[in-house]
Amino acid sequence: MARELGPRGKLCRRLGIPLSRISAKDPDKDPVLRRPYPPGQHGATARVSVSDFAQRLREKQKLKLYYGLLEKQCRSAFLEARKAPGNTGKVLMQLLESRLDALVLRAGLATSIRQARQFVRHGYFQVNGKRADIPSIRLKPGNEVRFLPAHQKLAVVQDAFGRMKSRQVPAYVQVLGEGEGMRFVRLPEREEIPVDVNEPFIVEYYAQRS
């Protein structure tokens, strides 16, 4: 399965998103907070483009970073959202936030979207009692996700939950027990989703190229 494995620190610096906002990175060691300018020899003095296209492209890149998406996945989600009733931007965010890997991260069962995807791909979870290993599957309100008992005892799983325990869990996610799993309570409202992007710009970006 194709994945984005490039250095997140450089990408976060280029987009201005603190790495500690999308992972359990220590803020004191966050490269974006330590050097709040783009990477490269001329990063600190670089002239930033402010064209309409650059603004829309930047928001799309930020969305892909938050959810660990490739271009094809991001575009497919937009096309699905456009066909659905309601505000396209809001529906797009709800579709992405309903992904299994995203909800595992929101519940604090993993330290980053990459680790959440790894846990799912390795078969650590079962959804409503059935084993699931596809990170992109979308959950419905009421669905429960639980670790398989053998995997919950792994040191990497225990360490991830311990590091994320202090993070605030959104109201649309309920953690089960002491990190045994999570329940998807309901679809989130846009203001509840901890993803700082301008989704109307993303909709405009794809609408102009469809």
Judge whether 2 lies within some domain.
no
Identify whether residues 202 and 144 lie together within a single domain: no
Identify whether residues 48 and 114 lie together within a single domain: no
Predicted local distance difference test score (pLDDT) of residue 39: 67
Judge whether 1 lies within some domain.
no
Decide: residue 28, CB within 10 A, 0-12 exposed, 13-18 middle, 19+ buried. Answer: exposed
Task: Evaluate if pTM is beyond 0.85.
Answer: yes
Cβ contact 120:100 at 8 Å:
yes
Calculate the CA dihedral of residues 100, 103, 105, 106 and round it to 10 degrees: 180
Judge whether 191 lies within some domain.
no
Q: What is the pLDDT of residues 66-115, one digit of tens each?
A: 999 999 999 999 999 999 999 999 999 999 999 999 999 999 999 999 99
Which two structure tokens, joined as six digits, stand for 198? 């301008």
CATH number at residue 155: 3.10.290.10
| Total tally of structural domains belonging to the chain | 2
Read off the DSSP letter of residue 23.
B
Q: What is the pLDDT of residues 153-177, one digit of tens each?
A: 999 999 999 988 888 899 999 999 9
Task: Print burial letters for 86-106: b (CB count within 10 Å at least 16), e (below 16).
Answer: eebbbbbbbbbbbbbbbbbbb
Identify whether residues 116 and 180 lie together within a single domain: yes
State the chain's mean pLDDT as an integer: 87
pLDDT-based confidence at 3, cuts 50/70/90?
low
Using CA atoms, how far apart are residues 37 and 39, in angstroms rounded to an integer? 7
Judge whether 73 lies within some domain.
yes
Using CA atoms, how far apart are residues 163 and 198, in angstroms rounded to an integer? 29
Identify whether residues 67 and 134 lie together within a single domain: no
Identify whether residues 60 and 79 lie together within a single domain: yes
Identify whether residues 104 and 36 lie together within a single domain: no
The residue range of the domain holding 172 is 99-186
